[in-house]
Structure 1
């Protein structure tokens, strides 16, 4: 690639920023960590986890610049095909809970668009909403089974617009007191005592929310070697990314602190988890005399994003797993069956069973808002499980230092590199395990424990089923 076509470091930072960050991360941090106290936790998370994580991804991407399978390819090169299958399976399995949450999130967004309040959705009752969510989920499974994926462009558009809305919120909120001094903003206490959180059980069991928020930067690994002067340009871009994300997290948190009282959030937690982002844009519109216009735009973007992500998440991770030659040798042949449209029809049926079961189980939850809270926590427990493979691949890469020669290295010192990899692995695993527990709610705790066990267990028995199939075909 000629130098004129190389990506400069600040362009890389902006590309990664739009991939990693979103408005929901600001809201989740604010409500789970007692308002502006989350600022302390964000700074720690960025300094001790996100920056080394992003720089390790850069080294992996540089070492395996021609490998197109992402994390699975890295594991294949460093640890062999069977562990590469497990990495691919984990990536797919994490999307089962994610898929189950998208229908509920999309319905919530539509409700805000139509009724313009947060109470109507809950008033329908949990069971009717979960059955409606199941119907939407089954419809999009049918769409995927027909080989159709008409929402890819809409997903890109929705993702971009949500990113723009997130930045717009911060800018408009900071300008609001000058434009409307009598808007009724809340006063925040920035004393050190008020900024340092209480390190209790609730704090540690919520850290998975922050890990979930900052994860996913491995998506930018294909661009490492396309950066101008990768050894200097890539870390520059990643540090710029970390600064941008940290600034947005802190400014977004302060903006929310002008709107929402943490004490009220504690008293109405499920309602804020389900409606907080819509209330934020509704209040912002009121400060500017725009009524509900900003909220409706945000809800429309969110609805499109939720539903388009739903159909893409049914189709894309499944294809990534089953199209992989390394993974196929460990997967039962029935799951590899395609219909006339080229869709892995039995794989989609497996998604129907697993995600559908989560949707139906939540019909037992007392309120529709509580369902959304439960799904947020479940995703924060399961989705970061895929990051474990990133750190495992990095440790294996550094241990095989004589075999691979990446153009860019996170750090030259071998001991520091291995310690950083082990640290991020342990932090991720600990946050996932601690995040499973919810004080006073054994139903949610059980769901958070059983779901990963079932998904991991399925992945472990698949190779045994395939091995038995192979043995039977040889004996015949």
Structure 2
């Protein structure tokens, strides 16, 4: 008797969504950029983008629970296949660069875990410089993740659960320690006032244009939910479990961000922490470790411990932060190394791809995963060993994908109108029952994402960096043209086959 394949339960689905979407660093970065005022923008991004979009994905997921292709299947059935292929391909391309980025960057939290500080700029293997060393480590990492993932979904599930649990624990630590410090001190470290919830303490975020750029940041903080669209067919009792999992995750994540930012103020005095506490320059890359180091330090003082013990406590909290982030990014990596690719290969017509790439083993497109690993490794090698020109190239590559990653959200929301109109699609779960509410939700989500992307494009140009602005536009255009050419080739092949078959029958 064949063993029954284990499916995702509600809890494991929520943990997977939580790991893919919730970024603990988004809390610390938001507080650094906007203080308490960031809560308003995070809530606004949740209400205008994340929640309505999550409910759309829930309806799609329940209706297409037996389709393996995730977002491609959804858009192809609801709108049209070419539109769906371009949106899905663009979205997939952005994850290739995510892997390059995180494959090299994951060593920063590991260094924090081991040493209490980031020492990656001093690492050297075989006489290589630090950039090349991180490149070699990233290549080994990609090979390792691809090898383990290709063994099937069960091995991935175990690791994403560790990742989700690690992130959950660091959040628990933030809330518990924040409350202990608040109770011990009897007041917030960052003074509360009505104005504090509307204006940033950061001089770089005072004008309307700068504040709009933060809205973009808030929307990106909710990205990644569509990745789990490919897991509908892997979910137990999908029509009920999937929409419930998405809805519960959406609310937990939105509330988690808002409460997390607020509790940061219990132990973080903005001016002291980000200007005097550290002797290193505060960046978006290291702000989480500085904030957590400060949390441990402030806990020591709140409990009446000596300066030396407080400093040590701060370093240990920073270490714990490093290990948690390492596990969280590992969990995200294990989901993202197969889920976008699985949607692209399994969802789209098989004839678009060379036959070898569509072969499925252990429920996953293993050959395609190997090719994906090869592409990621090639880019990492070029960036790590190509000198300053390659570094500049990577900056351009990242700019190219910023827009590509969220543009498909617009594709999905536009296709949702077609989905609601098509009566033949069985919809076992519906939140949008009124046509007016549906149109309003589609308009708001499309407008908010469109505005964020437009701003991402024009913002560098306003600061004089025209190259980055042009790159941001070129990325989606290049990916869209490649996808369009691939799908056109497939359509021509299909029409030739159809004409040939038709002629034979006559």
TM-score bracket, shorter-length normalisation: 0.7 to 0.9
Cα offset for 1:57?
2.0
Cα distance in 1 for partners of 2:237, 2:435 equals: 22
Verify: 1:412 aligned to 2:433, yes or no: yes
CA distance in 1, matches of 2:193, 2:264: 14
Corresponding position: 1:191 with 2:194: yes
> Which residue number corresponds to residue 261 of structure 1?
270
Matched residue SS, 2:427: coil
Provide the C-alpha distance between the structure 1 equivalents of 2:287 and 2:138, rounded to a whole number of angstroms: 24
- Given the alignment of the two structures, is residue 169 of structure 1 paired with residue 194 of structure 2, yes or no? no
Residue equivalent to 1:203: 211
Quote how far apart the aligned CAs of 1:409 are.
2.1
Q: SS at 1:46's partner residue?
A: helix
**Does the CA contact (< 8 Å) of 2:116 and 2:315 recur in 1?**
yes
- Rate the CA distance shift 1:404–1:342 in 2: closer, same or farther, 3 A: closer
Matching residue of 1:393: 415
Aligned to 2:259: 251
Q: How far is the alpha carbon of 1:456 from its aligned partner?
A: 3.3
For 1:333 and 1:53, the matched residues in 2 are separated by 35
Deviates more, 1:196-205 or 1:352-361: 352-361
**TM-score when scaled to structure 2?**
0.73
Aligned to 2:294: 283
Q: Distance in 1 between matches of 2:325 and 2:32?
A: 19
Matches of 1:216 and 1:410, distance apart in 2: 21
Contact 2:383–2:391 under 8 Å retained in 1:
no
- Separation in structure 2 between the aligned mates of residue 336 and residue 59 of structure 1, nearest angstrom: 28
Secondary structure of 1:343's match?
A: helix
Aligned-residue CA RMSD (Å): 4.5
1:10-41, Cα deviation, whole Å (9 max, x unpaired): 99988855654231221232234x22111221
Correspondence for 2:326: 303
Residue 317 of structure 1 pairs with residue 340 of structure 2: yes
In 1, the alpha carbon distance for the partners of 2:494 and 2:14 equals 47
Task: Show structure 2 runs of 5+ residues with no match.
Answer: 1-8, 201-205, 301-312, 501-506
Q: How far off is 1:299 after superposition?
A: 0.8
C-alpha distance in 2, partners of 1:281/1:392? 41
- Equivalent positions of 1:458-469 (< 5 A) are 458-464=482-488
Q: Tell me how many residue pairs correspond in the alignment.
A: 454
> Is structure 2 residue 105 aligned with structure 1 residue 105?
yes
Deviation at 1:397, TM superposition (A): 0.7
Write the distance in 1 (CA, Å) between the matches of 2:447 and 2:387.
31
Q: Distance in 1 between matches of 2:384 and 2:487?
A: 28
CA distance in structure 2 between the aligned counterparts of 1:303 and 1:45, rounded to whole angstroms: 27
Flag the 1:90–1:366 CA change in 2: closer, same or farther, 3 A: closer
1:315 Cα deviation after fit: 4.3
Once structures 1 and 2 are overlaid, which stretch shifts more, 58-67 or 300-309? Answer: 300-309
Give TM-score scaled by structure 1 length: 0.77
Q: Would the aligned equivalents of 2:111 and 2:120 in 1 still touch at CA under 8 Å? A: yes
Q: Which residue of 1 aligns with 2:137?
A: 136
Q: Deviations over 1:93-122 (max 9, x none)?
A: 12022112212321211221233224x445
Partner of 2:268, secondary structure, is coil
Aligned to 1:78: 78
**1:435 aligns to 2:483 (yes or no):** no
Deviation at 1:157, TM superposition (A): 0.6
1:271 aligned residue (282, 292, 302): 282
Q: Which stretch of structure 1 is more off in the superposition, 216-225 or 254-263?
A: 216-225
Secondary structure, aligned partner of 2:416: helix
Match of 1:3 in 2: none
